[in-house]
Structure 1
């Protein structure tokens, strides 16, 4: 296994007009979201992150059109431990890696999950990823959401993919199974921010939230549930889970946003048992499309539904058929 070397980061971001009047450290956290707030604040204080070529204080106010320039050395993080955790790699070349994350795997170490994460697995797969922001991880999936993720393997690829995320040109599509009989699809355009009371949750908020847009369409209807396909324009924390709850169609098995378990009247015992025991939110990142960060080629990947969601849908279909056979609506 090779020893990771430090690398120099050079990146530039333009301040949007909508951020006029905000503090530099707040804007930097939004525009350079691949780095931690602590690291960005340190770079601002060191003069490694400048505004129109000049060093500023973290609390300095910025104006739309200003250019934030970052030039810094990123050292490998010794506290991140490489661990031999199996990865389901869908595609890999010199610049990017696409993988199918299983439910139950945390993406990044944090309080309560210091190791055993996807990041630890990536460092074992390729030690050089230790020099990249968050080991090349440019977007996340919740612990209990399965499906496709793209990881950058070079700083150039990382910068290009982050820019695509910010430009909303990376296409991400999810399968979800929700509680409630949805009549038709639609769009949720509602800002998301920290829940005012429960700090573990996100919520649709009137002020102070970040723009969030989710498009959804019905794939299959059941008696009291719906299989929907969601496409993200933005990538806020828990976005699909929050937006579906906002529309009063929470995801099956969602421990934070699902609310009290609702069992369908007249439903089969098999379905009721499965709904009681379903171990996670029924959400899977099924499709991922982006431009290759080196040659610009269009890349598109698909991941089949995992076994637990296949079983869930099969059980819902069997319940629907039994109702039909018995003449029960």
Structure 2
């Protein structure tokens, strides 16, 4: 049977010293930054797929001339080497800005023996890795409410330092109501166990200014399967409540149905606003989710959902 544990507050709070069960976030952060760097490095080969044609000075590629295009776009030197007409395309050079938010509330301290890492660690690794990949692709990354967007090779370290210095986000299971300008993007990383109405308010608030976004839902395998039998004690990590039950197995079906309904509601929320939802289980590699999110970001821009 799966075993579960809950990381103490010090595992999410940066200022406490080492405890018996886990290191404080500040002491674990260097390891998480290195792990995020490894994930980003593994994805670097896919960054070229994020490039697209547009106004700019850097050459990107040649492509066949399409009837109806302006003749001055033809590259006659390249066309002379073949029996076809070719157009020289330049790479889109408008800087994108991506805002990140990483949930560090109580529920993110949950971890089971089936997971590769606690939810909080996986969320941080994913957020930093995505930020690193974004900056490497010529974009800017910032932390909602903590750090303005920057384009620097040290983005992972700077974001980690901002989180370590933040003493007030442990009870926030949703991002702050910080305005995001039009055409910017938001990547929100959380378990999103909040009420759908509260999640909807966040999505509407960001979308209302013309920005678009992506939700990355972090899930421990036990939270999906509820593989318990016999007597058990259920804990509400956010409210500090506990409930003792005599037959955990009988609760399993109702629990799984409720989780399924919750996800369906969240999926509908993001669909209505043209956002994306990625569900990542912590028994899967972080690189898997990171690549999926990068592809979704690229696809959303290609569909012209307000991007520049």
Which structure is richer in relative contact order (CA contacts within 8 A, separation 6 or more)?
A: 2
Q: Taking structure 1 as the reference length, what is the TM-score of the superposition?
A: 0.25
